[in-house]
A and B are shown apart, each in its own frame.
Chain A
């Protein structure tokens, strides 16, 4: 082959490769999170931002500022790992962040005081709950626009989708029913009442007419077969069969259960009962309470790791631990004095918890096996919650 031919061939190959290399280099320069499963997202309410902490290095790799007075509440990664979304409670808007570049790419007006949110399993729909607007905003994650507002709810706190994405279930904290949403049409299909208010309630207007604390979340079991919803005022957990959309069992738990949390092995569920400072452990096979154990005050969350349950007592500074094999108390971890703990997420290996400590502006990393912990300080102002993609313990309060 002549030298000219060599030159032509080499030039053609180089010409084909250069744009690719340039493109890769250009994109790599702006990517801050190459792997979305390897970061903890932290909601910083007072600094109005979402911080991203690398799980391995425990360093903040980037922050996305949302604007003054936004007060983000809950953050979540889309199932495909492309976007991070949050609702700005004081701005009445939803914020969409590119999960790799950490740039804010879209701001979508929603209803009043957005708080908790959920993604459909296929990642197409982002349902943003607006408790003070009594509605759900439906956002299309392809066009990044709000396509509908679902009215008729009563202080909707949390939404859960069935695995096949056909229906979603909404916990209404201002009522005693779970809303069933048709995800195809984004409409409220029906209301499922968890339990009846006892007749004797009319003798206690101070309690029943003063304020209502209903259903926080209808939590789905790990196998997707049933939903369990705790009603705070009524002190019960209702089991719902989503095939027929009816309550098949009502289980009495302790006083003022905040909500229900599913263990990772699918065997148990726990309700922290803030009315009597206990937890109720429900056997999901027998559908009965198998243990009622002493806990702490103002419990905000339950996480599971290393075969134990970790119950966060927000105002006492303690995390109470329970052995999930023996269903007995296993001590408590003192995180600090005069601090307020918020909620936590658990890594996908079920080894460590990442707990938001709003007083110290820190994230507390708790080793599930040893109960040892370390604090990552200065993650932002007033961290309110944390989230890891695909964690089994992603929730907010």
Chain B
């Protein structure tokens, strides 16, 4: 046993002797900025990876990792590392109250002595370090400190100076007992309550940031006002059929919408849209199955100011369910086809931005519920008064239900698919209709759409001009290009076809093409061309071309 111990000790000693023949000694000194020594400073010698090699995390027990060597300076500020293998190192010195000093060192056959100089660490607001404070009694050190403080004041003066604390109100949970005493932590006999309290934060902001925030806060409290104006000019050119009085006529419809929105409560908002229409659209002269200019659809009176919409909306159940009540425009919530829904920037004709079989009533009092869990499935249901002169809602109620789904067919981008059912009792008999609507991106720039609807609604007694009095069938389809094959990046253009058939009644086909220029964020200009083929009952068919220009401004 004793021989074993002796042999082990000898082996250790021999290894040390051999190793020291290939290693070096690194010596140095740690001083402060004025040349004074710093005793008891921690010095670390860290081996650097070869140039070009990625750095590895310095975790304990990591294979291949060479541990740092550490030492402490003596009373004269000196330190020594022995048995240092050759290589490239970083030597670092730390002492409380001072910034770390670090420099690169190449250890070889002859390694020069290292001098590391530590500067005082300035941390405004922190407790002053005793070591640094002690070192600062020197007059030169005091002068250096004054200079630093002067520079800080200069920095402060040159930047923004809103250093007064910001305050904000926070909603907090506290625990209140029966005596009203408030506790911050759960306490026996106290129940959890919610209260509001102001807190202060110290944040230096630029003046512009502060102003921007103030304006933003003000804007959030105000009623937001927006405006939208449009002018649609169309011409009629008959291409076939018996001569018509509207051949060669020009039409123009101007509309201006004034929009208001405001927050009323948490997740509850108010919106109103007042519109004024003026002019003579082509539909004033010809009474087709669908409107050639959808701007005037579902509005009571032309050449007057109308309230298009005015409603309150609230969101419930983690905002999965939205309820809208008031004067509503059902087209804003149902059958919202991505490329054939907006008469201000897509097709102008109502047959291509809506489904006539929906027989959407004039905007009126109603309620719409929208369930959307943001997982691709949505369910919508709504009802609305159909007759503005009705004395009660029950006898003139229109209901609509829709289920929508965001699908992604194999190899294609996203597509929206909707199926709806509507019911209307305004003629005394409840009539229903069902329809489909879809829009599918085939490529990032090309989207196709389609609609289908079938159903009927009885005409009121003595009125033979109501659509679908004996039932109706409608289908439409088309496509849109956007973000590609356009003149300017945000332009879009599309072509659509719609066919409306009333059994034993008239039929109508509309083809429309449009190109929408995005001139600026607020201004769009469109050119559109509609071809209308009407087949009235007992008369010869006639066809028209309606070229048109649309200018749309939004604020």
Contacts and interface: CB of A to CB of B under 8 A. Distances in A.
A265 B54 CA distance: 22
Given A27-B70, A122-B53, A144 B102 contact: yes
Contacts of B203: 45-46, 69, 71, 382
Contact of A79 (B54, B374, B443): B54
Contacts of B12: 13, 16
Contacts of A251: 444
B214 interface: no
B519 A200 contact: yes
B483 interface: yes
Interface stretch (A149-157, A241-249, A299-307, A328-336): A328-336
A334 B444 contact: no
Contacts of A218: none
Interface stretch (A54-62, A171-179, A220-228, A285-293): A285-293
Contacts of B123: 65-67, 104, 107
Interface string A231-250: 00011100000000000000
Interface string B478-510: 000001100011100000000000000000000
Interface in A180-217: 198-200, 203-204, 206-207
Contacts of B124: 67-69
Would you call the interface of chain B mostly helix, strand, loop, or mixed? loop
B57 A198 contact: no
Contacts of A204: 519-521
B198 interface: no
Contacts of A36: 57-59
Interface in B292-335: 318-319
A69 B6 contact: no
Contacts of A289: 413, 444
B57 A81 contact: yes
A71 B100 contact: no
Residue among A6, A98, A290 with max Cβ neighbours from chain B (10 Å): A290
B163 interface: yes
A1 interface: yes
B57 to A, nearest CB: 4
Interface in A1-48: 1, 5-6, 9, 12-13, 16, 23, 26-27, 34-37, 45-46, 48
B374 to A, nearest CB: 5
Interface string B90-134: 100010000111111000000000000000011111100000000
Interface in A357-396: 359, 381-382, 389-390
Given A103-B94, A330-B375, A37 B59 contact: yes
B35 interface: no
Interface residues of B, number: 70
Given A1-B6, A291-B408, A200 B488 contact: yes
Interface in A300-343: 318, 320, 326-332, 334, 337-338
Given A79-B57, A338-B171, A71 B204 contact: yes
A92 interface: yes
A263 to B, nearest CB: 16
A292 B57 contact: no
A9 B5 contact: yes
Given A5-B6, A252-B444, A331 B374 contact: yes
A329 B375 contact: yes
Contact of B54 (A69, A122, A326): A122
Contacts of B49: 80, 122
A142 B201 CA distance: 36
A397 interface: no
Given A80-B57, A198-B489, A67 B126 contact: yes
B414 interface: yes
B59 A67 contact: no
Contacts of B52: 122, 165
Contacts of A82: 46, 58
A80 B406 CA distance: 46
A332 B319 CA distance: 10
A106 interface: yes
Nearest to A293: B414
Given A107-B99, A107-B122, A332-B374, A35 B520 contact: no
Contacts of A105: 94, 99-100
A344 to B, nearest CB: 19
Contacts of A326: 408
A234 B483 CA distance: 12
A67 to B, nearest CB: 4
Contact of B204 (A90, A290, A328): A90
A327 B414 CA distance: 8
A335 to B, nearest CB: 11
B267 to A, nearest CB: 9
Contacts of A9: 5-6, 9
A282 to B, nearest CB: 9
Given A9-B6, A35-B60, A252-B484, A106 B406 contact: no
A48 B373 CA distance: 39
Nearest to B168: A359
Nearest to A99: B58
A320 B3 contact: no
B18 interface: no
A1 B5 contact: yes
A37 B57 contact: yes
A5 B121 CA distance: 52
Contacts of A235: 489-490
Interface in B1-60: 2-3, 5-6, 9, 12-13, 46, 48-49, 51-60
Nearest to A200: B488
B374 A294 contact: yes
B542 interface: no
Given A13-B12, A81-B57, A331 B204 contact: no
Contacts of B57: 36-37, 79-81, 389-390
Interface string B342-383: 000000000000000000000000000000011110000000
Contacts of B519: 200, 203-204
Nearest to B101: A144
Contacts of B6: 1, 5, 9
Nearest to B205: A90
Interface in B147-198: 155, 159, 163, 170-171
Contacts of B488: 198-200
B125 A68 contact: yes
Contact of B202 (A69, A124, A330): A69
Interface in B71-99: 90, 94, 99
Nearest to B44: A27
Residue among A90, A251, A390 with max Cβ neighbours from chain B (10 Å): A90
B60 to A, nearest CB: 6
24 contacts: A6-B5, A13-B12, A36-B58, A65-B123, A67-B126, A79-B57, A80-B58, A90-B204, A122-B51, A123-B54, A142-B90, A142-B102, A143-B103, A144-B101, A144-B102, A204-B521, A207-B521, A234-B489, A235-B490, A252-B484, A328-B408, A332-B374, A338-B171, A359-B170
Given A65-B123, A65-B126, A122-B54, 8 more contacts: A6-B5, A79-B57, A98-B94, A107-B99, A328-B376, A328-B407, A329-B374, A381-B201
4 closest pairs, A vs B, by CB? A123-B55, A1-B2, A81-B57, A105-B100
Interface of B: 2-3, 5-6, 9, 12-13, 46, 48-49, 51-60, 70, 90, 94, 99-104, 121-126, 155, 159, 163, 170-171, 201-204, 266, 318-319, 373-376, 406-408, 413-414, 441, 443-445, 483-484, 488-490, 518-522
